[in-house]
Amino acid sequence: MEYRLLSAIKSPADVKKLDESELPELAAEIRDQMIHTVSVSGGHLSSNLGVVELTIALHRVFRSPEDKIIWDVGHQCYAHKMLTGRFDRFDTLRAPDGISGFTRRYESEHDIFSGGHSSVALSAAYGIAEANKLKKNKNYTIAVVGDGAFTGGMVYEALNNAGHAGTGTKLIVILNDNEMSISKNVGALAKYFATIRANPRYFRLKAKTENVLNHIPLIGRKLAKILFRLKTSLKNRIYKSTMFEDMGFRYIGPIDGHSIPHLVDALRGAVEANYPVILHINTVKGKGYELAEQNPDRFHGISAFNIETGEKKLSAKSFSDAFGEFMCAAAEKDKRICAVTAAMSLGTGLENFGKVFPQRFFDVGIAEQHAVTFAAGLARGGMLPVVAVYSTFLQRAYDQIIHDCAMQQLKIVLAVDRAGFVGDDGESHHGLFDPAYLNSIPDITVYAPATFREMEHSFYEAFYKTEGSVAVRYPRGVEPQLPEEYTYTGEDWQCTGDPADIAIVTYGRCYAEALEARRRLAEEGVRVMVVKLTRIKPVPKEAVQFAMQAERIFFFEEAQRYGGIGETFADKLFQYGYRGFYRNTGIQGQFAAQNTVQGLLKFYQLDAESMVQAIKESEET
């Protein structure tokens, strides 16, 4: 597909060369490329469609990478990537060895800070701005933060800190508001006042006036303060002072986030301020693609889809779907069950729960730490809370799990979605750390089911048979195909096959790979038993003792090896006097790259073929 303007842009400097009349065409080309690429690769569509004009305006006004643009979460960066020399590779989005769906420092000098988790850009940007100030570097630092990120506590910690920076700190925070205004402005005069404040001449005049007054002997400074109070009083009569100004920022807005001329004027006005600035813009999530505008949440993060209908190309039932169905059924029977999510009701499968049980459904925003402690409060009040959260985001609440849940032996249930490899979202989203860090916490139980039925049983055990806090972790995607010989015993562990000299021990998604490896080896006359752990913490003592019958034991773990369950299993083995061969395979101190799940299983030697190879190699040594 040919794009007249976009194909000619090799760097942000080329954006500045375009005539202003060409910019709407550029925006249309960017949107078209986004929609077609994401329809094939999947990705974050609504959020990126909403910031196209903003991205163009940023690269018209600032000089990247000297001026540093930081995108919060990073899933708003697609247009930024196209305008910073990556258009010719944009069709590799989220593919193995392709460009990332998030900002990545190793990918481009224009990706200033790697994004993946929400609410961090302002803290990082303030740090860079202060570093520039210390080095007498006059470049600007710009943080683009979605209004959703303002539900995360780090934003307010950073606002509180950066608001005291004062003159000379060249920090601009763009609040991308695609929902509603934070402070409601009413009336024509308020809109006029916002327009005036966004004009660069406003700031130039303001700075010159303050400078002149401050140099008048004796009365100059006093007069400047009086005029400032009068101005503030008048402004507050026109519209309410924002919390940002109360925290020390200069506030501009709201501005139409789809008008490039208005955005350019506002950004230039922010440059003239010479103070930390909040630029508040209003955008439409999904702008330019009607289906996404009508259903922005559905197209926020989406797999490959049909452009004409918006329907997903693959729609098989996932673990998240099965979890949502189970929660509705369980809540119908037990009035204590509550669901808590951190702005991920759709992704975690709780959308229907929220409709059926609205009084027992709590979306706390992007605030995982608060979600866990809030759930602890629900538990202390006699409820049975389930916190549905992606594994990668649960990391943020590690301290709360320890202090507010496990240490107090409160019954909260963590539904840990996206456990293990997640594929094309890449290193920031893989759920590879929770087995190790949960394994380190006393008085907490962890289940890792391999099937929908095992997941439901694990939650039942968590609700009614297990003391204290419990985590149930399950992978992204569909239920694995298991051979007919698989039978679910309902126990914390089980063995497939008769006792043998070779044992594969594993849990979760790797169980399907282990059964396939067993089948292949059986065809070659090699007998293997597969010990599957459904409860991985504490490791069932009986499973360890049973595995000791084997002369060679191979543990496979779709998680970080160091501190993980495989190490715990080995420790138990040798405590019980095991003297045979033991090999533990997992991710060894690396951040896994983006790839398909099957590609990652193969790369880290966790697929059936690698298991077969490992066992054969052990016979040769």
Residues taking part in catalysis: 285, 368, 396
Give the DSSP letter of residue 145: E
CB atoms within 10 A of CB 11: 13
Determine which helix (DSSP H) or strand (DSSP E) holds 177, and give its type and residue range. Answer: strand 171-177
Q: Measure the CA–CA gap between 27 and 35, rounded to whole angstroms.
A: 12
Q: How far apart are CA 243 and CA 124, in angstroms?
A: 21
Residue reference for tokens 């992007």: 366
Instruction: Find how far residue 277's CA is from the centre of its chain.
Output: 26
Show the 3-state SS of 422-486.
CCCCCCCCCECCHHHHHHCCCCEEEECCCCHHHHHHHHHHHHHCCCCEEEEECCCCECCCCCCCC
Q: Say if CB 337 and CB 384 are below 8 A apart.
A: yes
Structure tokens at 69: 């643009």
Under DSSP, the state recorded for 340 is E
Q: Are strands 493-496 and 413-417 parallel, antiparallel or unpaired?
A: unpaired
Instruction: State the Cα–Cα distance between residues 336 and 349, nearest whole angstrom.
Output: 19
Amino acid at 470: V
Residue corresponding to tokens 């930390």: 276
For tokens 């643009």, the residue is 69
CA distance 49 to 27: 9
Most distant CA atoms of the chain, gap in Å:
99
332: Cβ contacts below 8 Å, ≥ 6 apart = none
3-state secondary structure of 558: strand
| 45, two tokens | 């569509």
